[in-house]
Every structure is written in C-alpha cells, then in structure tokens.
A and B are shown apart, each in its own frame.
Chain A
C-alpha cells in the first residue's frame, strides 16, 4: 500500500533524479597554444551546413572559410588572388585553363588533384545538391581534368570575371566524391573537430596550411540570436568576437573598452516598386517615390552613421566600376508631389510591406510614410513576419523591400538582380539596351571600355528601374581588444567571414 506520506515524498523527489545522471564530469580543457577564439554570430540552426555549395548564413560562411579554400580568394579591393589555383588563363575569356598549386594537402593527408576540383565544380549542377551557386555554375559548359594538376573549364559564353566567380565561397574545393559533410575535409587553415548543427563547432589549427602559418590554436563558433544576450556575453568575457552589432550600441561598446570592426560593404536594403502591375507601374509614381528617400536621415537616425549614401543603383562607391557621373538624387517631397500629380496619385493610399527579414525596412518605411504625407500619398505600413518573407511577399507585393548582400562583381549583381530575365529582377524591369550592355561588358577585356559600359548601366538603373537604394550598409562587429589581426574586407563582416588564418590572440 502506498501511503499518503510516501506520496508526499514522491512529489517532492520526482524532479530530483531527472537528468542529473547524465552529467559526467570531465577534466577541464587546457588553453591550446595560440589561444582559443570564441566567436558568436547571430544565426545558426539545425540547417547549419559544412557543404560549401549550400552555405547560406554567416555561421556557414565562417565555418566553411575555416575548413576549405577556393581556387581564388578575393582581396581587400574585391580582386581575385590565386589560392588553390596557381594560374587561371584564357585567350578568349571562354576556354579557361586552370593550373593547381602543387603540394597542397587535405586535412586527411591526401593531395589536392584535378579530380577534386572537377568534382567540386560539377556538383553544383545537380539539383539534389541544392547549391546556392547553381546560377553561376550553369555558365560552365564543361569542366574536365587535363592531367593531374590542370583543369580545363569551358564556359557557355565569354566571361572575363571567371577568376572572381571562382572566388565565391560556394565554389570552395572539397575532396572528390564527398557526399557526407558531417566530418568535413578541406585544405583550409583549420581542421574541424566538432560540428554540431545549431549548437556549436570547434576547429583546431591545421599546422600544414599552405598559405601562411596559422597563429590561433582553436576557434569555437556558435550563435546567440538575442542581440542583448550576444552583447552581454562579450561584456562578461564569455566570447571574444561577436558579429552584427546594433549601430545604437556601438558607441557604448567602444566606451567599455571593446574594439569595433566596421566594414563598409556593397550590401543594401532596397525599396521595390513592381513595374509590371498595379499603380506602382507608372513611371512618374516611381520617380516620385525615389525622391521620398531621405537618405541622410536614414543614415544618421537608423544606422547612426554606419552606412554610405546610395543613389538607386547597386554599384557601391567602393567598387572599381562605380560611376561618379550619375547625379546624386536628393530628398525632395515637393518635386515628388509634382510627379505623383502627373501619375494621378495625389490622395491615394498604398500599402508598403516591411519585414525584419529585410534589415531595418520597418524604420525606412516610417520615414517614407512621413515624407509621403508631405507629397500627397498615404502609405500604410504592413509589417509581415520574416519567416517565409522571401517566398510569400518579396517580389510579389507592389511595394515592398528587399535585402541584398554584397556581391563581388558588377556583373554578378547586374546579372542576378537587373537583367530582364533575372530570376530576382525585383521590380520586374525590362530593358533591352541594358541586357545588351551586360553581355558586352561580360566578354569585354579592355578595362576602360568595360568601365564605360558599366557606367551607362548604372545610369539606366538609376533612372528607370523600380528600385530605390537609399544606403549601402556597413557591417559592425565587436571584439575583445586581445583579438588582433582583423581588418575590414568588402565581402562582408568578420573579415569577409574569413578570419581564421589572420586573427591571433594577444598573450597566447
């Protein structure tokens, strides 16, 4: 018989034994030579991958950059430098010959061969791989080994940017035949010893790295998705380097003795007006809309100065092909009113869709709404959840926002977002002249000529596309002053996500 007193004990003791049995105590890990760098990024989930083709979020980029190398890598001015390739040559920008660096070994000891490169590049074409770079790989007509350390790559049509494209992180080189990426094997500066998707990853120094001597002993990478928790972890000394700081807090962190890594990037949050349907298709409406962007207030109030004024075309001032002759569009609600009157839109109400998925689009929309009141058009802000935003709202609503990360070349950004047949032609803008310029610039080998072609394209987008690009955003990272060797790279924050070989810890 179970008595009542036993029952009382049962309730009290029910929770006690739960779980405790699972904690086996292990001896403390000693700090490795070269020190341990603990990095917290904002996003990580069970979707974390070590398959270079599938890398999507910052934590993927960081982990893959630790473990793998590409044939080329992009330098501080986004120009390609040879990495696993020693030479990439072509007479006609179509038929390319790639010579591989000799003596490079994978983390399992096997040498880098042409077969690894052929496999790594060709797998992007298989839809089951789910590659993010498939659109670029579709330019490859054939990729074949030509001896043990030569690869011949023939393109469908000429493209002088191939060395840059091969520097895109998704084209990193894996071992021939790799299908399981749980225990990744690459040639990079770090060897992955633990990879738990959505939890953390732990990589240790690869002593035989071909590019340089790696100084860090170990990198632990995980995510803390809550902004304030991530900053608290840095303040309390539980992490050394954090990605994606709110601009509002940057000043306080500096004050508390932490260092900022400010990266001016070509990424932007853009206003999108669909040109192929509804009231937003009137050219005067679009012209008026672009005049409502109060770029300076956006930069100062929303981004606390950590942004660069944009001019409704996607080539950032840091890009070598940036054309300064495109006149800067100013904030002018009165002229906007004049355009809206010509479009017959005075007094109209229009929904404008925002989401946390498009960084800071909520705040931008509020400023546009205010300016719209002065120009005679009422904008109703519709905030939608970030979950499913890219599938359900982006490019589908008449007036909304997009968010584009920095792209390494002018060709890539124009091809992906502005060509008439681009899958992400966000405003549905079609222009035959632009398309022919794009094709001509791609195969053009004369730099001056190429620059003038890209210049004309910037004018066209600035004048005609349904896209407002108010600002190019800066990426903000913060770190413990013990972390040295970090410098901004235009590919993105955290040194273009590739800090493992260059960072080091003071006093370790």
Chain B
C-alpha cells in the first residue's frame, strides 16, 4: 500500500504542474502580443496594403481586443476544444495529431537507445573511476556536448547517406514497411539526438554513482565481502536514483521541442517545426496549443522524476 502522506506529496506536485500550465499559456499569449505583425500580415506578406489588411483582419476576428481572444481560447480549451488554426482553418487535433505521434516516435526511439546505454556507460565509468576507460568516457562526453547537433547530423548524413549510401538522408515514416526499415530510416536522426542527450546523462549518472560509492554504507558492504557488482547494484544504485532520474528527465525533455535542427535536416515532420511555422505565421492558437504540449511533456517528465525520487527514498515518504 502507498502511504497517504505520499499521496499528498504527489498530489501537490501535480497541482503545481497544473498551475504552471496556466501560467505558461498566459505568458505565451502575452509574449506573442509583443511580436510585431499578425497573421493577416503574414498571409498577405508584401501585398499587405492597409485596406487589404483591415478586410482580412475583420474576416479573421483579429480586430477584437487581445484579452477577449485569450478568454475565448481558454474557454474553448476547458471544454476540450483547442480551436482552429488561423492559417489553415483546420482543427488543432488534425494539425497536431500526426506530428505529435511523429515527435513521440522519434523521442521514444531515442530514449530507448540512449537511456540504457547512458546508464550502463555512466555506471561503468563510475566503477572504474580513474582508469583509461573512465577518462575516455569523460573526454568523449565533453567532446560531444561541445559539438552542436546540426554538425553531428550533417556529418552523419554526409558519411552514411551521401558517401556510403547505407542509410537514407531523409526520414520519411511512409517508407517504413518492416522493423528493418524502421531501423534504417531512424538510424541517423536517433544517432544525432542520442549523442546530444546521452552525454549529459552519462556524466550525471557517473557523478551520482560515485557519490553513493563513497558513502560509509558502501564501504561497509565492501568490507563485508560483497562483490563489486553487488555493491553497485544493491547498495549504491538505489540511492543514486533521485539525481539520475532528474538528469534523465531533463535530458529527455529537450526531445520534443528542442530538436528543430534535426527535424529540419532530416525533413521530419515533427512538432518542433510546427511551432516554428506557427510563430512565423503568427498563428496564435497553434502557438498556444503547441506551447501547452511542450510544457505538459516537460512537466510530466519532471514530475515523474520527482515521484520516482520520492518513491525511491524512504526518508521522503515519512516526512
């Protein structure tokens, strides 16, 4: 059974997450008002004569005050209607649906590859602290963190797609007809993203496990004659879960909104490109909806990490 103080703790976390969502939607709307130009100007571009602008603004209800447009939007969201895109006139669900699935697929595959690998590398580096292996891992992670992901992606395309012709240069999920296709199509973007998210996770895991290994109870376990593997898995790792979970959550949270470069290079229709389009065309309802999705994903990850930390730490359960 889960103790009720625990439920209260988790309930508070969730409530804070919801409050954050409301604040973010307000902030996004307010900041969008500061951007010069609106959707009517974006549609007309160079042809935006004052008369044409006024006509189009009226047709799109842009002549109403900002607070009213926000309230109407917020009211719609509360009743489950995210509204329609101003540019395409399509309902949000249709605009966002497949792209969100695409982004989640890419993020999921990247997590699938990067999390186990990062944990394994981080733990091994911690156990063999000070050896050549540890130093190699440290140098490699610092190196990769310092290289922007567009460079990694472009170099990978030039090597594996242009020169060797092993993999496609573009990531089109329509060409996926088998598991083998899936691996081929996603190999390059997942590789580029995994490099980018893994480095941080490896470093944090290594640091957290080293901290735990330095504690007196691990020393006691070693003196008792535990095997090194047992010391790490049974004694050190469970106590390092909190920081590791947070490091993973923070790294993975960039996989939804922060992968715009990878989406552009591989022509992958994900949600980050949708956000860029929405801002460029001043399509406010779409900006809002996507911002809420980014924020929700971030909160889910961070809140999950918090909950995992709470669950993994008996002391937090009894406060």
| A and B physically associate | yes
Interface residues of chain A, those whose CB is within 8 Å of chain B, are: 1-2, 4-5, 7-8, 10-12, 14-20, 22-23, 25-29, 40, 45-47, 54, 56, 126-128, 130, 132, 134-135, 182, 196-200, 222-226, 228-229, 232-233, 235-239, 387-388, 390-392, 394, 423-424
A224 near B312 (CB under 8 angstroms)?
Answer: no
Report the bound CA distance from A135 to B48 in whole Å.
11
Residue of A nearest to B46 (CB): A390
B304 near A127 (CB under 8 angstroms)?
Answer: no
Residue from the set A127, A128, A132 with the largest chain B CB neighbour count within 10 Å: A127
Q: Contacting A19 at CB < 8 Å: which of B95, B105, B278, B308?
A: B105
Question: Given contacts A4-B312, A23-B176, is CB(A128)–CB(B45) below 8 Å?
Answer: no
Report the bound CA distance from A12 to B157 in whole Å.
29
Residues of A contacting B150 with CB < 8 Å? Answer: 226
Question: Given contacts A10-B308, A229-B265, A232-B157, is CB(A25)–CB(B176) below 8 Å?
Answer: yes
Report the bound CA distance from A229 to B170 in whole Å.
9
**Chain B nearest Cβ from A39, distance in angstroms:** 12
Report the bound CA distance from A10 to B58 in whole Å.
52
A226 near B265 (CB under 8 angstroms)?
Answer: yes
- Which stretch of B125-133, B135-143, B267-275 is in the interface? B267-275
**Chain B nearest Cβ from A375, distance in angstroms:** 32
Report the bound CA distance from A228 to B95 in whole Å.
28
Question: Given contacts A127-B59, A236-B157, is CB(A12)–CB(B115) below 8 Å?
Answer: yes
B280 within 8 A of A: yes
Report the bound CA distance from A225 to B265 in whole Å.
8
Residue pairs across A and B with Cβ atoms less than 8 A apart, 30 shown, are A7-B238, A12-B115, A12-B116, A14-B248, A15-B112, A16-B108, A18-B105, A20-B105, A22-B105, A25-B176, A40-B267, A45-B281, A46-B281, A46-B283, A56-B45, A127-B55, A130-B52, A132-B44, A132-B45, A135-B49, A198-B274, A200-B269, A229-B154, A229-B169, A229-B264, A236-B161, A236-B169, A388-B35, A388-B36, A390-B45
Report the bound CA distance from A18 to B103 in whole Å.
10
Given contact pairs A2-B311, A223-B267, A233-B267, a sample of 11 additional A-B residue pairs in the complex whose CB atoms are under 8 Å apart: A7-B238, A14-B115, A15-B112, A16-B111, A18-B111, A22-B104, A47-B280, A128-B55, A128-B56, A132-B47, A424-B46
B178 within 8 A of A: yes
**Chain B nearest Cβ from A417, distance in angstroms:** 11
Report the bound CA distance from A22 to B158 in whole Å.
30
A14 near B111 (CB under 8 angstroms)?
Answer: yes
Report the bound CA distance from A340 to B263 in whole Å.
50
Binary contact readout B300-317 vs A (1 if CB under 8 angstroms, 0 otherwise) = 000010001001100000
**Chain A nearest Cβ from B43, distance in angstroms:** 5
Residues of B contacting A226 with CB < 8 Å? Answer: 150, 264-265
Question: Given contacts A45-B280, A46-B87, A235-B162, is CB(A7)–CB(B311) below 8 Å?
Answer: yes
B226 within 8 A of A: no
Question: Given contacts A26-B177, A198-B269, is CB(A8)–CB(B241) below 8 Å?
Answer: yes
B165 near A47 (CB under 8 angstroms)?
Answer: no
Residue of A nearest to B169 (CB): A236
Residues of A contacting B43 with CB < 8 Å? Answer: 47, 54, 130
Residue from the set B158, B162, B237 with the largest chain A CB neighbour count within 10 Å: B162
Report the bound CA distance from A452 to B66 in whole Å.
54
B173 within 8 A of A: yes
Question: Given contacts A46-B274, A198-B274, A423-B49, is CB(A19)–CB(B104) below 8 Å?
Answer: yes
Residue from the set A25, A54, A198 with the largest chain B CB neighbour count within 10 Å: A198
Question: Given contacts A18-B111, A25-B176, is CB(A47)–CB(B281) below 8 Å?
Answer: yes
A23 near B286 (CB under 8 angstroms)?
Answer: no
B1 within 8 A of A: yes
B168 near A236 (CB under 8 angstroms)?
Answer: yes
Residues of B contacting A18 with CB < 8 Å? Answer: 104-105, 107-108, 111
Residues of A contacting B109 with CB < 8 Å? Answer: 19-20
A16 near B170 (CB under 8 angstroms)?
Answer: no
Residues of A contacting B170 with CB < 8 Å? Answer: 224, 233, 238-239
The 5 closest A-B pairs by CB, nearest first: A127-B55, A15-B111, A18-B108, A128-B59, A19-B108
Residues of A contacting B200 with CB < 8 Å? Answer: none
Report the bound CA distance from A232 to B164 in whole Å.
12
Residues of A contacting B169 with CB < 8 Å? Answer: 229, 232-233, 235-236, 238
**Chain B nearest Cβ from A246, distance in angstroms:** 15
B149 within 8 A of A: no
Report the bound CA distance from A93 to B243 in whole Å.
79
Residue from the set A2, A7, A20, A232 with the largest chain B CB neighbour count within 10 Å: A7
B288 within 8 A of A: no
Q: Contacting A134 at CB < 8 Å: which of B47, B107, B273, B278?
A: B47
A46 near B59 (CB under 8 angstroms)?
Answer: no
Residues of A contacting B157 with CB < 8 Å? Answer: 229, 232, 236
Residues of B contacting A25 with CB < 8 Å? Answer: 176-178
Report the bound CA distance from A235 to B154 in whole Å.
13
Q: Contacting A232 at CB < 8 Å: which of B162, B177, B273?
A: B162
A198 near B277 (CB under 8 angstroms)?
Answer: yes
Residues of B contacting A390 with CB < 8 Å? Answer: 45-46, 48
Report the bound CA distance from A388 to B42 in whole Å.
8
Residues of A contacting B95 with CB < 8 Å? Answer: 46
Report the bound CA distance from A200 to B157 in whole Å.
21
Report the bound CA distance from A270 to B13 in whole Å.
57
**Chain B nearest Cβ from A290, distance in angstroms:** 24
A47 near B112 (CB under 8 angstroms)?
Answer: no
Report the bound CA distance from A258 to B248 in whole Å.
45
Report the bound CA distance from A341 to B120 in whole Å.
73
B210 within 8 A of A: no
A391 near B283 (CB under 8 angstroms)?
Answer: no
Report the bound CA distance from A35 to B126 in whole Å.
56
Question: Given contacts A237-B165, A391-B36, is CB(A11)–CB(B245) below 8 Å?
Answer: yes
B30 within 8 A of A: no
Report the bound CA distance from A4 to B312 in whole Å.
5
**Chain B nearest Cβ from A179, distance in angstroms:** 10
Residue from the set A11, A15, A16, A233 with the largest chain B CB neighbour count within 10 Å: A15
Report the bound CA distance from A238 to B49 in whole Å.
41
Report the bound CA distance from A2 to B308 in whole Å.
10
Report the bound CA distance from A236 to B312 in whole Å.
49
Residues of B contacting A11 with CB < 8 Å? Answer: 115, 241, 244-245, 248, 308
Residue of B nearest to A5 (CB): B238
Report the bound CA distance from A134 to B47 in whole Å.
9
**Chain A nearest Cβ from B110, distance in angstroms:** 8
Residues of A contacting B35 with CB < 8 Å? Answer: 388
Question: Given contacts A12-B119, A19-B105, A127-B59, is CB(A1)–CB(B1) below 8 Å?
Answer: yes
Binary contact readout B239-256 vs A (1 if CB under 8 angstroms, 0 otherwise) = 001001100100010000
B8 within 8 A of A: no
A391 near B37 (CB under 8 angstroms)?
Answer: yes
A46 near B278 (CB under 8 angstroms)?
Answer: yes
Residue from the set A2, A17, A29 with the largest chain B CB neighbour count within 10 Å: A2
Report the bound CA distance from A266 to B90 in whole Å.
37
B101 within 8 A of A: yes
B101 near A22 (CB under 8 angstroms)?
Answer: yes
Q: Contacting A4 at CB < 8 Å: which of B41, B111, B238, B248?
A: B238
Report the bound CA distance from A16 to B108 in whole Å.
6
Residues of A contacting B47 with CB < 8 Å? Answer: 132, 134-135
Report the bound CA distance from A15 to B251 in whole Å.
12
Residue of A nearest to B244 (CB): A11
